[in-house]
Structure 1
Amino acid sequence: LSMSDKWWASYFQGVVPRTAGFNTLDIGALTLPSKVYMMGLMFIGAAPGSTGGGIKITTFVLILFALWTVLTNKEEINVFRRRIPKSLVYRAFSIATSGIIFVSIIFFLLTITEKGVDMSTLLFETFSASGTVGLSANFTGDLSPVGRILITIMMFIGRVGPLTIGFVLAIRSNKQS
C-alpha cells in the first residue's frame, strides 16, 4: 500500500473493531501487535447507545479515571468538577472483570477443542465474538463443531452479558437507596 493508503487502512481498521466487522485488510496476515491492538478495541467496544458490543467506551474511561485517582492518591473520582459515585465505579469494574472472565473461559476451552491452532488466532476469534464484531483471523470457518458452539456462546454472552450485568447492578443499587 502507498503511505496514504496505509493511513486510511489504519484509520478504517481502527474504527471497525469496535462495532462494524468490515475489513479491508487480511486480518490473518496482520502482525501480532496489530492483532493485540485490535483485540483491545474489540473488548472496549462501542458507545453505550450503539448496537455494538464490548464493555463500552464509558466503562473503560471510568476505569481509567478510577486508576488515575488511585495513582494520584486521591479519595474521590472527580471528572470536570463532578464527583463520580463509587457505585458506578464498582459497576464498571464488575462489567470489565466479568468480560475478562468470560473471554478467558471460552479461550481456554477453545485451546482444548482446537488443537494445533496458534493461541493468538484463538484469542482474536474469542475477542471478536465477545465484542460481537464479526472480524476473523481467517479461522472461524475452520472451527470444530464444539468450537463453533463456544464462539456462539461467546457472542451471546458478549452481546447480552455486559448489558445484563449493568442492569442487574443498577436495579440492585436503586432498591438499596
Structure 2
Amino acid sequence: MRLALHTLCLLFLFSSCKTPEARRPVSIKSGSFINESINRNKELAAREEARIQKIINEDSTHTYITSETGFWYFYTKKDTVSTITPQFGDIVTFDYNVKDLGGTVIYSQQELNTITYRIDKEELFLGLREGLKLMKQGEMVTFLFPSYQAYGYYGDDNKIGTNIPLIAEVTLNTITKESTTEN
C-alpha cells in the first residue's frame, strides 16, 4: 500500500509539473505609429523649408546664411571689427519682434520689451537661443526659423499656433561676459 501511495504521488508530481511556456503578447506593436509620425514631421519640415527657400529666392536685397542648426538669417547691421559673441552663461540684452512668414507681426518689439537673457541657462525657443550666439553687440539680424526651431507642435499657448515657422528681427544690445559677473 505504501509503495502504491508513493508511486501515485510521484506520478501526480511528474504529471503536474511541466516546463514554463512563454506567454504571447496580447497586442503586437509594430512601430508603425512612430514611423508615420517621423514621416509626417519630415514632410512638414520639407514644406516649411521650401516656403523659406521661396522667400530667400525672391529676396534679392539680402544675402542669407544657413546656420549649422537649421535656420536662415541675414544681417541688417553687421559688426566687422569685434570678434566677441555670447558664450554659455554670458548675459545679453536684446530687442526683437516676431512675424509669420507672410510678414504679419505676431509680437511687436514694444510688446516684448527688452529681454535680459543668460545664454543657455534660461528658457528661450531653440532657434533664437542659437541665433543669439552668432551675434555681436550692436548687430541687427533677421532670422527665419522653421517651426521645429521655433515653438514647434505646441506653439506658445498664446498667439503662436501649432507648427508655425517664424521670422524674428533681433537687435543684440549688450553682452556681459560671465567672468565679469561672478564675484
- Shorter-chain TM-score category? under 0.3
Q: Which has more radius of gyration? A: 2
Normalization by structure 1: what TM-score?
0.27
Which structure's residues are more often strand, by fraction? 2
Task: Choose between structure 1 and 2: higher helix proportion.
Answer: 1
